[in-house]
Amino acid sequence: MAPQTQSQFAATPRRRPRTIWFALQTLVIAVLAASPVVAQSTTQDSIGRVNPSPWRPAFGSVNKSAVQQPTAESLRSANSAANPRGSILNQPLVGANAGSGTRAGSGTQPTGFAGSNQSGGGQGSVQPRIAPPNRAAVVKPGVTRVSHTMTKLPNKAGQVWREYDISPYTAQITSSDQPEKAVLDWVLRETGTEMWFTQPMGVLNVEKGKLVVYHTPEIQSVVKGIVDRLVRTKGQVQTVDVNLITVAKPNWRSQAYTMLQPIEVKSPGVEAWLVSKENAAILMGQLGRRSDFKQHASGRLTNHDGQSFALDKTRPLQFVRSLRWTPGQAAGYQPLMTTVNEGFKLQLSCLTTTDNASIEAMIKCDVDQVEKLEDVSVAVPAGLGGAQQKVQLQVPQMVSWRLQERFRWPSDEVLVLSCGVVATPDPDARSGGLRLPGTGGAKRADALLFIDYRGPATGATIATVPNRANLDRTASNRMGRIGN
């Protein structure tokens, strides 16, 4: 075989090195495409965080089975004002590894979360626990906050609960539909009203046959004393002689002052004395012989022990006080009549002591009198054309006095009260009827009230009706009117 020349070798192409280079480039591109470039790639979790730290667990999709339901203990902790940090987030994990705060097959897990179940080899999710809202801390604007936390009555001052049986008293009362109200009134008169609405906390309630009191032992002792006095007599009917008189001048004191024993009175302008029954009869005789003496009410009253009764003698006085405009009518106005009741109202409530040696009375007296009616002329339109006419209106000039006092005195003496020189309690007795508008002539006098306790009823001359007694001025009276 003849050897090849140089020209033959040069004509033959060199393909092996190029093929090898191409294969290396292809291999490098394949390797680079298969290998991720960490510096240029990003990851994002379900809540939008980019490239989370490898030591923090990523949040996946919500898995309802992973949410732990709140327990009764967690609800109490969340709503307890005394333990505001008792939140569900402070509760331990639920699961086999709850004590260590980790879950098998995953990294370290925060103690405030519960692990979810893994299914199908997918990545599990971790969700926060749901804490119930604290309803006690939510207060709507403009709405009063009301709490229901008290489980027992406070007794910081040593208050005690007592129930008093008052049925022996209320069952015998026939003159009132609510005899228990008298029990409540006498308790309030003895203890006062303000103390039941301040500290220490107290409760006072009355029913038909029971009185409920919650207060200190000292107040309970006072209440028991009142209840004993009412229950002792069992509503027995008592008799009281009442005389209401007036004298024009107060100089009667100069002759009778040695018989009067003054007692303390809180009402301004009111004087009170105690006199023996014998001296009371002498005093009534002296007053009865005066020319300015006038007896307005006299008689013997009967009522159940502790109950209230009222005496009144009034007369209506009518006058034109203003006008009511009535457009469209001929006159254009209508007179408005006003009525004032002149006279007196006397309310009396008596209660005996347990030994029957003393009598206690709550006296309330109101006297109203119109001294005169002042005339006022007003001009009102009289039809068309601008004509006017005068209309008379009356403005009352009134005199009133009030007495509300509580007295206690021995049952063998008589209580005498003087309200000073005031409007006479008799409503214009001289005219014999309604006073004419514009007339005056009202008198002032020294009003005297005699109250004489006569003991249990045996021969009462005045019958009683519920909470009211009408005074019969023709009834016989032991003291009576002596002379003229």
Q: Are residues 313 and 412 in the same domain?
A: yes
Residue 229 has pLDDT above 90, yes or no: yes
Q: Are residues 408 and 282 in the same domain?
A: yes
pLDDT tens for each residue of 196-225:
999 999 999 999 899 999 999 999 999 999
The neighbouring-strand residues paired with 76 are: none
How many residues does the structure list for the chain? 484
Q: Is residue 360 part of a domain?
A: yes
Structure-derived torsion over alpha carbons of residues 42, 44, 50, 51, reported in degrees to the nearest 10: -60
Element of type H or E holding 284? helix 277-288
Residue 52 has pLDDT above 80, yes or no: no
pLDDT tens for each residue of 436-454:
434 445 578 888 999 999 9
Q: Are residues 429 and 297 in the same domain?
A: yes
Q: Are residues 299 and 423 in the same domain?
A: yes
Q: Is residue 477 part of a domain?
A: no
Residue 412 has pLDDT above 90, yes or no: yes
Q: Which residue has the tokens 């040695």?
A: 258
pLDDT tens for each residue of 392-407:
899 998 888 888 999 9
Please give the pLDDT value at position 98.
41
Report residue 249 as tokens.
């001048």
- What is the C-alpha to C-alpha distance for residues 14 and 5, in angstroms, rounded to an integer? 17
Where are the extended beta strands (E) located within 101-197?
113-115, 126-128, 160-165
Contact 114, 170 (CB under 8 A): no
User: 97 pLDDT band (50/70/90 cuts)?
Assistant: very low
Q: Are residues 364 and 219 in the same domain?
A: no
Mean pLDDT value across residues 150-162? 89
Residue 278 or residue 461, greater confidence: 278
Q: What is the mean pLDDT of the chain?
A: 74
Parent domain of 193 = 160-233
- What phi and psi values does residue 150 have, to the nearest 5 degrees? -75, 125
Q: Is residue 482 part of a domain?
A: no
Q: Are residues 280 and 182 in the same domain?
A: no
Q: Is residue 479 part of a domain?
A: no
Residue 176 has pLDDT above 60, yes or no: yes
Please give the pLDDT value at position 372.
85
| Of 138-152, 226-240, 460-474, highest mean pLDDT | 226-240
Q: Enter the DSSP assignment of 122.
A: P
Q: Are residues 260 and 190 in the same domain?
A: no
Please give the pLDDT value at position 48.
62
Number of structural domains in the chain: 2
Residue 430 or residue 265, greater confidence: 265
| Of 48-52, 58-62, 76-80, 165-169, highest mean pLDDT | 165-169
Contact 78, 131 (CB under 8 A): yes
pLDDT tens for each residue of 309-328:
888 888 898 998 888 877 76
Q: Are residues 443 and 416 in the same domain?
A: yes
Contact 93, 104 (CB under 8 A): no
**Per-residue CA distances from 179 to 229, 283, 310, 311 (Å):** 15, 37, 15, 19
Q: Are residues 174 and 187 in the same domain?
A: yes
Task: Label residues 144-183 b or e (16+ Cβ within 10 Å = b).
Answer: eeeeeeeeeeeeeeebeebebebeebbeebebbeebbebb
Residue 101 or residue 278, greater confidence: 278
Q: Are residues 311 and 414 in the same domain?
A: yes
Q: Are residues 229 and 242 in the same domain?
A: no
Q: Is residue 422 part of a domain?
A: yes
Residue 98 or residue 181, greater confidence: 181
Mean pLDDT value across residues 334-358? 88
Q: Is residue 250 part of a domain?
A: yes
Is residue 425 classed exposed, middle or buried when 0-12, 13-18 and 19+ CB atoms within 10 A define those classes? buried
- What is the C-alpha to C-alpha distance for residues 115 and 125, in angstroms, rounded to an integer? 7
Q: Which residue has the tokens 């001052």?
A: 157
Q: Is residue 334 part of a domain?
A: no
- The model's pTM is 0.60
**Number of alpha carbons in the 13 Å side-chain half-sphere of residue 19:** 4
Contact 232, 223 (CB under 8 A): no
Q: Are residues 172 and 310 in the same domain?
A: no
Q: Which residues contact 9 (CB under 8 A, 6 or more apart)?
A: none
Report residue 233 as tokens.
């007599």
pLDDT tens for each residue of 115-132:
444 444 444 444 555 555
End-of-domain residue from the set 212, 233, 254: 233
Q: Is residue 123 part of a domain?
A: no
Please give the pLDDT value at position 460.
43
Cis, peptide link before residue 200, omega less than 30° from 0: yes
